[in-house]
Amino acid sequence: MSDLKTIQQDFMAFLQGKPSQMTKHIKSQQPVATSTRLGIYQNAYISRLRETIDSDHPILGSYLGDDLFDQMVPAYIEQYPSSYPSLRDFCQHIPQFLRDNAPFSEHPILAELAAFEQILINAFDAADATAVGPEKLGTIPPQSWPTMKLRFRPCVQRFGAHWNCVQSWQMLKQEKQPPPPQQLTTPTLWILWRNPERLTEFRSMEPDEAMLLDLALKGGDFADMCDALLNFHGEDEVAMRALTILQQWIELGLIGDIRF
Amino acid sequence: MHMEVLIRAMHGAIAEGRGFLRVNEYDMKKQNLGFGLGLRTDHFHHVIEHKPKVDWFEVISENFMVGGGKPRHYLETIRQDYPIVMHGVSMSIGSTDPLNMDYLKSLRTLAAEIQPAWISDHLCFTTIGGVNSHDLLPMPYTEEALKHVVERIKQVQDFLGRQMLLENASSYLTYQSDEMSEWEFINQICQQADCLMLFDVNNIYVSARNHGFDPMEYVQAVDPNRVQQIHLAGHTDYGDYVIDTHDQAVRDPVWQLYKETIKLMGPVSTMIERDDNIPPFAELEKELDHARALSHSALTESNREQSRGQYQCLI
């Protein structure tokens, strides 16, 4: 192996707290000890990643409290070292980490809370796309309605909650005490998007609306959506309900295009 | 010019080994952008609303490698009024890992959208074995490392279709295997890879203190024709060593070193690089005014010294 490669591998192993020959590559320079010199790099490595977790997951941090956060950070850094050019992507495995590792895995709300914070980030910097206006519906010929398909703007994200994590997020955001963790009797589907002022918004969906969203995201057409609504509404109400939901989505600016 | 004369002139240039990159280099060297600042999220609104008298802005490339949203929108607005340069932290040019082509593609795409005056990154390695340290880890100054870095810069420049700037990083340790000084190493790289240099005056001061060399030796050794941009930043002084924290104002010894640099190199695009503990915009403008004044007096003094030298020759 080349000398350069050996030094670089030893350096990385050292930063990660693994056994390495790093010290022997370093020239002794008084008055600063080699351990101090290397320590500067090790501190920088850990503290930069820690700050990233702190800034991407402020609410998870508050929910966990200092002790559990301090327990999570080094374990996460060890299990999921960054392989990304940007720190923007470093935290993306935190929900999985929290699902897999005790004591965090004993509280499923934690992974959900982390996933919610990540979805907020995804909505924040997703690709731009113009939203279609209500006039778009007028351009669709009547015979094309059954086969028309919706394309959502890239900022639109869905989030399924099995715990009261969104409510907890909201309380902590206002620096208030969150409610005790509670499993929901029926999961709630939330929709998140970026408004015209480029601020992220979210709201919960009615069960029939949630089902339509999933269907539309999977590429179902308007006829499929009306069929699915039969599970919730009478035959004569279905078309009107589908249209109402579609109009709401357009008003919120969720729809990037309607293909027909 | 008559077409035939033009073609003959081009053939002449090719026969003499003058390539197009060299032509670009001279074009770039003429471009002194003046006095700029690192563009930070906290100041987006201020810059858009007040259009401050700052000549240009530098952005961290990786922060804008996202699909869209606020950061890209603000940058798009700001770049209508100011020249932009792109500064990266993840090229990992010195690593023995293969070049990350996905990263380079994102960089090239971003450059096509933002149209920066130039693109820079650091002389260091950040990623090894696929793990990104997100730190600027120092290179050993050896012939092996030199050859490796030169080869990779050539590849990057070919891929980006432009020269890149390489910044000297600050360092806290020295390798046993070093075969030359940092300034010899970086000079050789710039010359052999035909790249330019982002000269970080603070990093030179920090490394000089940490390794016990005279920073002026570094400043005097660097080829001024290669220096396209200067960074000024703050550090934290721990007595026996100094850490490049970028979280406070530029300190006096760094200002002094900057003045000496300008005296030797002439006018160079200069900016304040503040990454943490971001102060109100006005504070950074004040620091930038100080850089302007220092640069001005350095150039005046250096002219005076030069003319004195001429008179002495006449006598």
Contact B175 A25 (CB under 8 A): yes
Q: Are A73 and A177 contained in the same domain?
A: no
Instruction: Please report whether residue A175 resides in a domain.
Output: yes
- Report the predicted TM-score, pTM, of the whole model to 2 decimal places: 0.90
Residue A180: what residue type?
A: P
Nearest CA in chain B to A8: B128
Contact B137, A41 (CB under 8 A): yes
Contact A126 B68 (CB under 8 A): yes
Q: Are A138 and A254 contained in the same domain?
A: yes
Q: Are A89 and A188 contained in the same domain?
A: no
CB contacts, 8 Å: A38 with chain B: 173
Q: Are A173 and A55 contained in the same domain?
A: no
Report the C-alpha dihedral over residues B220, B225, B226, B232, rounded to 10 degrees.
Answer: 60
| A247 in B contact zone (CB under 8 Å) | no
Instruction: Please report whether residue A23 resides in a domain.
Output: no
Contact A27 B173 (CB under 8 A): yes
Count, in order, helices (H) and strands (E) of chain A.
11, 5
| A158 in B contact zone (CB under 8 Å) | no
Q: Are A144 and A228 contained in the same domain?
A: yes
Q: Are A138 and A259 contained in the same domain?
A: yes
Domain end marker among A106, A138, A162:
A106
Token pair, residue B3, equals: 């077409």
Q: Are A158 and A225 contained in the same domain?
A: yes
Instruction: Please report whether residue A155 resides in a domain.
Output: yes
Closest CA to A253 of A137, A131, A154, A130: A131
Q: Please, what are the domains in chain B?
A: 38-308 (3.20.20.150)
Contact B72 A2 (CB under 8 A): no
Structure ipTM over 0.85, yes or no: yes
CB contacts, 8 Å: B132 with chain A: 81-85
Token pair, residue B112, equals: 């096509």
Q: For residue A236, what is the domain's CATH number?
A: 3.90.930.50
Residue B258: what residue type?
A: Y
Q: Which of A26, A38, A85 sits opposite B100 (nearest CB)?
A: A85
CB contacts, 8 Å: A36 with chain B: 241
Q: Are A165 and A199 contained in the same domain?
A: yes
Contact A61, A54 (CB under 8 A): yes
**CA distance, residue B51 to nearest chain A CA (Å):** 21
Q: Are A170 and A233 contained in the same domain?
A: yes
Instruction: Please report whether residue A260 resides in a domain.
Output: yes
Report the C-alpha dihedral over residues B259, B260, B264, B269, rounded to 10 degrees.
Answer: -30
Instruction: Please report whether residue A22 resides in a domain.
Output: no
Closest CA to A41 of B310, B243, B252: B243
Instruction: Please report whether residue A119 resides in a domain.
Output: no
| A79 in B contact zone (CB under 8 Å) | no
Contact A29 B176 (CB under 8 A): no
Q: How many CB atoms lie within 10 A of CB B262?
A: 22
| Tens digit of pLDDT at every position of chain B (315 positions) | 344 444 444 444 444 433 333 334 444 555 899 999 999 999 999 999 999 999 999 999 999 999 999 999 999 999 999 999 999 999 999 999 999 999 999 999 999 999 999 999 999 999 999 999 999 999 999 999 999 999 999 999 999 999 999 999 999 999 999 999 999 999 999 999 999 999 999 999 999 999 999 999 999 999 999 999 999 999 999 999 999 999 999 999 999 999 999 999 999 999 999 999 999 999 999 999 999 999 999 999 988 877 766 555 554
CB contacts, 8 Å: B146 with chain A: none
Q: Which of A27, A154, A155 sits opposite B175 (nearest CB)?
A: A27
Residue B192: what residue type?
A: Q
Q: Are A194 and A255 contained in the same domain?
A: yes
| A28 in B contact zone (CB under 8 Å) | no
Instruction: Label the pairing between strands A183-194 and B269-272.
Output: unpaired
Mutation target vs A (from B122, B132, B149; most A CBs, 10 A cutoff):
B132
**Below-70 pLDDT ranges, chain A:** 1
Output the pLDDT for position A54.
Answer: 96
**Rounded to the nearest 10 degrees, what angle do helices B252-265 and B281-314 cross at?**
40
Nearest CA in chain B to A31: B240
Distance from C-alpha of B7 to C-alpha of B267, rounded to nearest angstrom: 36
CB contacts, 8 Å: A44 with chain B: 135
Q: How many CB atoms lie within 10 A of CB A247?
A: 12
Residue B58 pairs in a beta bridge with B38, B85
Q: How many CB atoms lie within 10 A of CB B86?
A: 23
Distance from C-alpha of B132 to C-alpha of A12, rounded to nearest angstrom: 9
Domain end marker among A59, A75, A106:
A106
| A4 in B contact zone (CB under 8 Å) | yes
Distance from C-alpha of B182 to C-alpha of B199, rounded to nearest angstrom: 13
Contact A57, A91 (CB under 8 A): yes
Output the pLDDT for position B3.
Answer: 42
Contact B144 A124 (CB under 8 A): no
Number of structural domains chain A divides into: 2
Residue A210: what residue type?
A: A
Nearest CA in chain B to A45: B133
Distance from C-alpha of A11 to C-alpha of A7, rounded to nearest angstrom: 6
Output the pLDDT for position A3.
Answer: 94
Domain extent, residue A167, equals 128-260
Task: Tell me which residues of chain A, numbers 160 to 219, contact chain B at a CB-CB cutoff of 8 Å.
Answer: 194, 198
**CA distance, residue A3 to nearest chain B CA (Å):** 8
Distance from C-alpha of B153 to C-alpha of B149, rounded to nearest angstrom: 6
Instruction: Please report whether residue A3 resides in a domain.
Output: no
Q: Are A259 and A151 contained in the same domain?
A: yes
| A26 in B contact zone (CB under 8 Å) | yes
Contact B166, B121 (CB under 8 A): yes
Domain end marker among A76, A106, A136:
A106
Instruction: Please report whether residue A17 resides in a domain.
Output: no
Mutation target vs B (from A7, A10, A193; most B CBs, 10 A cutoff):
A7
Q: Are A82 and A206 contained in the same domain?
A: no
Q: Which of A4, A9, A40 sits opposite B140 (nearest CB)?
A: A4
Contact A125 B174 (CB under 8 A): no
Mutation target vs A (from B74, B77, B103, B128; most A CBs, 10 A cutoff):
B128
Q: Which of B106, B129, B241 sits opposite A9 (nearest CB)?
A: B129
Output the pLDDT for position B303.
Answer: 82
Q: How many CB atoms lie within 10 A of CB B75?
A: 19
